[in-house]
Amino acid sequence: MLELKGVTSRYGPVTALQDVDLVAGEGRVTSVLGANGAGKTTLLRTISGLHRPESGRVTFDGQDITRMSADRMTRAGLAHVPEGRGVITELTVDENLRLGLLGRSRHREPLSVSDVVDLFPILGDRSHALAHTLSGGERQMLVIARALLATPRMLLLDEPSLGLAPRISAQIFGVIRQLVEEHGLSVLLVEQNARSALSIADVGIVLGLGKVIACDDAEVLSADENLRHAYLGY
């Protein structure tokens, strides 16, 4: 569904991705793992058009999206949820959610605001609260819910568990798996929290200093003790 071929991305003299080949399949969770600075964020920024690769190609359902603008990308069915909980703090939870209804793609059965509130009930309880009053976990739920309202076919998620308590991360990872199982969504997830990201993944990809070190079924990677110790930190 999503494919990268020979993608190299740089920031001036720093090579963040080097000749990366990668596939994220339909109806699957593909987790990209790696330490700080491995190139995970750059990978998602390159796919979603926020960073221009120096070379290589990104295709989505066979269509070349390497130089597509961000709004056309949304209409094509790709939604990027960047690191850092990008909510609009002066708006309420409900108003933030409704922003997700703008520029929807027409590729899937749309989810309504009440559907996404069913996935994350706390957003319903707090619907009239200003977003700046939310906890980190609630903000993360809000940005995922808002992205889902754009009716994506594939969600690109950058470190959804960053800085969250284990119980809240587990809830978010559970919903991600549920979206794939019950709504046929495809997910490309980048995470430092390798154990959790592999536990919900079909396929795992390990990045090290901008290169693909390993790519295999998530179960195979989880069982590889040497790889876990060397690259995944557990």
Residues in contact with ligand ATP by CB under 6 A are 11, 14, 16, 34, 36-42, 192
- Residues for the chain: how many in total? 234
Taking the least distance from each CB to ligand ATP, the nearer of 34 and 204 is 34
Residue number, 111 or 164, with CB nearest to ligand ATP? 164
List C-alpha distances in Å: 223 to 38, 65, 79, 140, 231.
22, 35, 31, 30, 13
SS3 content of the chain, % helix, strand, coil (to 5): 35, 25, 35
Residue 51 vs 104, nearer CB to ligand ATP:
51
Residues 6 or more apart in contact with residue 71 via CB below 8 angstroms: 103
* Residue 10 CB, nearest approach to ligand ATP (Å): 8
Using only C-alpha atoms, the chain has a radius of gyration, in whole angstroms, of 17
Q: Which is nearer to ligand ATP, 44 or 113 (CB)?
A: 44
* Rounded Cα gap, residues 163 and 90, in angstroms: 22
Nearest CB to ligand ATP, comparing residues 209 and 220: 209
Residue among 25 and 37 whose Cβ is closer to ligand ATP = 37
- Give the shortest CB-18-to-ligand ATP separation in angstroms: 11
What distances in angstroms separate CA 216 from CA 32, 33, 162, 198, one per listed residue? 11, 12, 24, 11
- Rounded CA separation 234/230 (Å): 9
CB of residue 117 to ligand ATP, shortest distance in Å: 30
The answer for residues whose C-beta is within 8 angstroms of residue 181's C-beta and 6 or more apart is none
- Minimum CB separation from ligand ATP for residue 213, in Å? 13
- Least distance to ligand ATP, CB of residue 43, Å: 7
Provide the minimum distance between the beta carbon of 190 and ligand ATP in the complex, in angstroms, as a whole number: 7
